[in-house]
Amino acid sequence: MKAKLTYLDTAESAELEGISEVLLKINRSAAVVKGGRRFSFSALSVAGNRSGLVGHGFGKARQVPAAIEKAAKDARKHMMKVPLTEDSTIYHEVVGRHCGSTILLIPASAGTGIIAGASVRAVCEMAGIHNILTKSQGSTNPINLIKATFHALSQLRSPADVAALREVEL
């Protein structure tokens, strides 16, 4: 079953206060032209309010500050909600895939912390997840890892959501 990423509507954009951003990667690319090399930059950013709201963005520009600004704006545009438990972890195990990257997210008991690489750690911190175990397999490209993590987070369901889908009471 392929989970579809659901982002916030403009009506829900009132919740976008208190958002902080983390810059993950800046990449420089060069085009060889008649007079030499022409450089352009791309930036990867993760934004969130550290309590269940997280987004990612990618921006490209000729200068670094413009690329960072575009990435931050894109991250605020692509926010999604993450259901969390009282222990600030996820409800169940999930696997996310994007291109060559696969990520396994496993809930952990209180006090465990975030056991993850840099890219997945940034997403978990911005989402407000404090206790989680992760395992990445395949490609370690930060862009693909973040998209795989968002695919995994989009598959999360709280017990109340599952009960509503099955039309039963808890």
Query: What is the residue-level pLDDT of the chain in tens, covering all 170 positions?
Result: 555 666 665 445 545 678 999 999 999 999 999 999 999 999 999 999 999 999 999 999 999 999 999 999 999 999 999 999 998 999 999 999 999 999 999 999 999 999 999 999 999 999 999 999 999 999 999 999 999 999 999 999 999 999 999 999 87
Classify 100 as helix, strand or coil: coil
Cα-to-chain-centroid distance, residue 35: 39
How many CB atoms neighbour CB 170 within 10 A? 7
Q: What is the DSSP letter of 46?
A: E
SS (H, E, C) 75-142: HHHCEEECCCCCCCCCCCCEEEEECCEEEEEEECCCCCCEECCHHHHHHHHHHCCCCEEEEEEECCCH
Which one-letter amino acid corresponds to residue 98?
A: H
Classify 71 as helix, strand or coil: helix
Classify 80 as helix, strand or coil: strand
- The H or E element spanning position 54 is strand 53-61
Domains along the chain? 11-80 (3.30.160.20), 82-166 (3.30.230.10)
- Answer yes or no: pTM beyond 0.95: no
Cα-to-chain-centroid distance, residue 77: 13
Provide the pLDDT for residue 3. 59
Is the separation of the CB atoms in 24 and 44 below 8 Å? yes
Provide the pLDDT for residue 15. 57
Strands 101-107 and 114-115: unpaired
Arithmetic mean of pLDDT over the chain: 90
